[in-house]
Structure 1
Amino acid sequence: MSRLLVALLWVLHWLPLPLLAALGRGFGALLFHLARSRRHVAEVNLRLCFSEWTEAERRAVLREHFRLLGRSILERGISWFAPAERIRRLVRLEGKEHPDGVRAQGRPVILLVPHFLGLDMGGTRVAMEYDGVYVYSRPKRDPVADRWLNWGRSRFGDQLQVARQDGIRPVVRALRAGRPLYYLPDLDYGRKESVFVPFFGVPAATITGLSRLARLTGAAVVPCVTEMLPDGKGYVTRFGEPWADFPSEDEVADAARMNRWLEGEIRRMPAQYHWVHRRFKTRPPGEPRLY
Structure 2
Amino acid sequence: MTWRNLELTYPELSRQERSRLHRQIIYSTVRQAFEMLHIWTHPQKENLARLRECHGLDLWDAALARGQGVIMVAPHFGNWELLKQYMSNLRPATLMSLMYRSTNSAMLDGFLQLVRSADNVHQVRADGMAVRQLFKVLKNGGAIGLLADQQPKIGEGVFAPFFGIEALTMTLVQRLAERTGATVLYGWCERMSPNLEFALYVERADPAVADPDPLIAATALNTGIERIARRDPTQYQWTYKRYSLRPPGSNEHNPYKLERPVR
Conservation of the 8 A alpha-carbon contact between 2:97 and 2:134: yes
- Kindly state the Cα deviation for residue 200 of structure 1 after the two structures are TM-superposed: 1.3
Confirm whether residue 277 of structure 1 aligns to residue 240 of structure 2: yes
Match of residue 253 from structure 2: 288
Given candidates 198, 201, 226, the residue that maps to 1:263 is 226
**Cα drift, residue 68 of structure 1:** 1.4
Aligned residue in 2 for 1:88: 48
Residue 122 of structure 2, aligned match among 149, 160, 165: 160
The alpha-carbon deviation at position 246 of structure 1 amounts to 4.6
Identify which of 163, 169, 173 aligns with 2:132. 169
After the TM superposition, which residues 1-291 of structure 1 pair with which residues of structure 2 at under 5 Å, given as runs?
41-92=1-52, 93-129=54-90, 130-139=94-103, 141-157=104-120, 159-165=121-127, 166-244=129-207, 246-285=209-248, 286-291=251-256
Letter in 1 for 2:50: L
- For residues 262 and 268 of structure 1, the distance between their equivalents in structure 2, rounded to whole angstroms, comes to 10
Amino acid across the alignment from 1:160: H
The letter of the residue matching 2:24 is E
Give the deviation of 1:274 after TM superposition: 0.8
The 3-state SS of whatever aligns with 1:237 is strand
Deviations 1:121-170 (A, max 9, x none): 2222222223100001134x22222333343433122x211111133101
Residues 40-96 of structure 1 show CA distances to partners (whole Å, capped at 9, x for unaligned) of x11111111110111122212211111111112112233222122211210243211
What is the CA–CA distance in structure 1 between the aligned matches of 2:30 and 2:105, rounded to whole Å? Answer: 19
Paired residues of 1:222 and 1:241 also in contact (CA < 8 A): yes
The aligned residue for residue 31 of structure 1 is none
1:192 CA drift (Å): 2.4
Q: Distance in 1 between matches of 2:74 and 2:231?
A: 15
Task: Give 1 or 2: higher helix fraction.
Answer: 1
TM-score between the two structures when normalised by the length of structure 2: 0.88
Give the Cα separation in 2 of the matches to 1:254 and 1:86.
38
TM-score by length of 1: 0.80
Deviation string, structure 1 residues 177-218 (Cα, Å, up to 9, x no partner): 232111111111231211111111111111111110101211
- Give the match's secondary structure for 2:239: coil
In structure 1, what is the Cα distance between the partners aligned to 2:40 and 2:228? 27
Alpha-carbon distance in structure 1 between the residues aligned to 2:88 and 2:67: 20
The worse-fitting range, judged by mean Cα deviation, of 107-116 and 238-247 is 238-247
Whole-Å separation in 2 of the counterparts to 1:68 and 1:167 = 33
1:257 positional shift: 0.8
2:37 maps to a residue whose letter is G
C-alpha displacement of 1:171: 0.8
**Aligned residues with identical type, % of pairs:** 27
Please list every run of 5 or more consecutive structure 2 residues that lacks an aligned counterpart in the other structure.
Answer: 257-263
In structure 2, do the counterparts of structure 1 residues 222 and 65 end up closer, same or farther at CA, with 3 Å as the change threshold? same
Q: 2: distance between equivalents of 1:282 and 1:150?
A: 29
2:35–2:79 Cα contact (<8 Å) kept: no
Asked if structure 2 preserves the Cα contact closer than 8 Å seen for 1:195 and 1:252, the reply is yes
Instruction: Note the C-alpha offset of 1:220.
Output: 0.6
Quick one: distance in 1 between partners of 2:119 and 2:230? 32
Equivalent residues of 1:133, 1:161 under 8 A apart: yes
How far residue 245 of structure 1 moved from its aligned partner, in angstroms, is 5.1
